[in-house]
A and B are shown apart, each in its own frame.
Chain A
Amino acid sequence: MKALLLKDFYMMKKYCRSYLLVMIIFAGLSVFDPAWKISSLSLLCLMAAMMPVTLLAYDERSHWNEYCAALPYGKEAVVSSKYVLCLINQAAVIVIFGLLWTISGGNDIEEFLMTAAVGFCCSCLSAAVVFPFVLWLGVEKGRVLYYVFIIIGFGASGVLKSLSVSESVDVKAVFDVLTFVLPVLGVLCYVGSWVISEVIYGKKEIR
């Protein structure tokens, strides 16, 4: 798997420069305006989680999948490398963002950790949905599903926002529940998705 991760790092260095630029812009925005912090970190985590999907598209274009199937990796390593890369990317984003948070005078560690956990879990959830489809159907169709997931996510947050105007709903209580449920859900879905992807990709014929 080390070889597969190394290959992906080389590819990220080349193909994901635009992501890096967007990350810098958002990180900069959140340094100057604290209101950006939560949304920036969530979005950056989501982008970091999406990078392996972008790399899979490049893999398909260069016929890497066929070549890779002829090398002594094993299909489970191919799948695992993408899931591990997704986690590494998000961890890197959180560490970098944490440093910026501290530099910009943020001293509420609890708020940062909470924000990071929510961003991380949401991204893991989206990756957990996308990976099995991308590995099964290919990147083109899998990506469509990814965008559908994002739209649903935004729709859901819109509904939550509208709830805040209703006095009958205790929004704080909803968020308290979500704070507890999301990480558990995120981890369960991610591990479940990993296992499902290994089964799907294991059965897939490489043509």
Chain B
Amino acid sequence: MTNALEIKNLSKEFKSFKLDNVSLTLPSGCIMGLIGENGAGKSTLIRLILNMLHKDSGTVAILGRDNTDNIKLTKEEVGVVTDEVGIPECLKADQVGKIMKHTFKYWDDKAFENYLIKLDIPRDKQFKDFSRGTKMKLGIAAALSHKSRLLLLDEATSGLDPVVRDEVVEMLSDFTRDEDHSILISSHIVSDLEKLCDYVAFLHKGKLLLCEEKDKLLEEYCVVRGEKGILAGIDAKALLNKKETPYSDEAIVLRKAAPKNASISPISIEELFIYMVRGERSDTL
């Protein structure tokens, strides 16, 4: 089966920011969380994938096709939801459906209808009168109603209340039950992605710090805490980053290299991300 997304050595430079040599692969049937703080380059990466920005170098293949080669055809199979959604403010849900019917070859009116009902999206209100959660739900309903095989979601869960966020996460999980369906979802709220993703990619200041299977990361790394000097015997290569206080030491290390007399606890993706970003910062200082 072809990969849903294959990015190789992708670079793009602006006046004050550079997305630097990013390579990642999203296998079909998987969800990848693109994690990074604000301004890390997540939206830039998604825009480059969709060919909205012109890359300086590198290649992007979506569903096995180069993104510069008939991108219109590729976009038929890609559902996109951005932070702002982008639906004109005066439109009502039914009007959006009619527009999309003429937009996508494989638009499924019935599926859209069902999503409107299931997600409790009002038909008599204009888009501008929707809450942020409802706006996002309409965007997701549209993205899921044209038999898309890949979803690109840029900060689609940011700013949603926990109930709506949970609904959205459930919808996305349903979508990937089909082995041919994949999702790339970016967020700076790591906890959202931790529940959902099979793969995580950390982006920091335009550089990809890591792209790995989530479970593998959680298996491989752990948090080591102990009294001062506990980290002394650990091989530097196994030590991801450490935090020292006058009384104790704490670090993220490869589980196999963890000292036996230390307190070891499982790591969360959020902790891993924060440690890696801090490590990157201290390296550049």
Contacts and interface: CB of A to CB of B under 8 A. Distances in A.
Interface residues of B, number: 30
A167 interface: no
A2 B72 contact: no
Contact of B88 (A62, A66, A70, A71): A62
Contacts of B84: 62-63, 66-67
B86 A63 contact: yes
Contacts of B80: 67, 70-71
Contacts of A11: 88, 90-91
A70 B87 contact: no
A69 B88 contact: no
A186 B54 CA distance: 34
Interface in A25-77: 58-59, 61-74
A3 B146 CA distance: 15
Contact of B53 (A3, A14, A59, A206): A206
**Majority-rule SS of A interface residues:** helix
Given A7-B91, A10-B91, A67 B86 contact: yes
A6 B102 contact: yes
B164 interface: no
Given A7-B88, A62-B87, A64-B86, A69 B103 contact: no
A14 B53 CA distance: 32
A205 interface: yes
A12 to B, nearest CB: 10
Contacts of B99: 3, 6-7, 10
Nearest to A55: B88
Given A63-B82, A66-B82, A206-B52, A72 B73 contact: yes
A10 B73 contact: no
Given A3-B100, A71-B75, A73-B72, A64 B88 contact: yes
B275 interface: no
B130 interface: no
A78 to B, nearest CB: 12
A10 B103 contact: no
A152 to B, nearest CB: 32
Most buried by A among B53, B86, B91: B86
The 7 A-B pairs with the shortest beta carbon distances in the complex, nearest first, are A67-B86, A3-B102, A70-B80, A72-B75, A14-B90, A63-B84, A206-B52
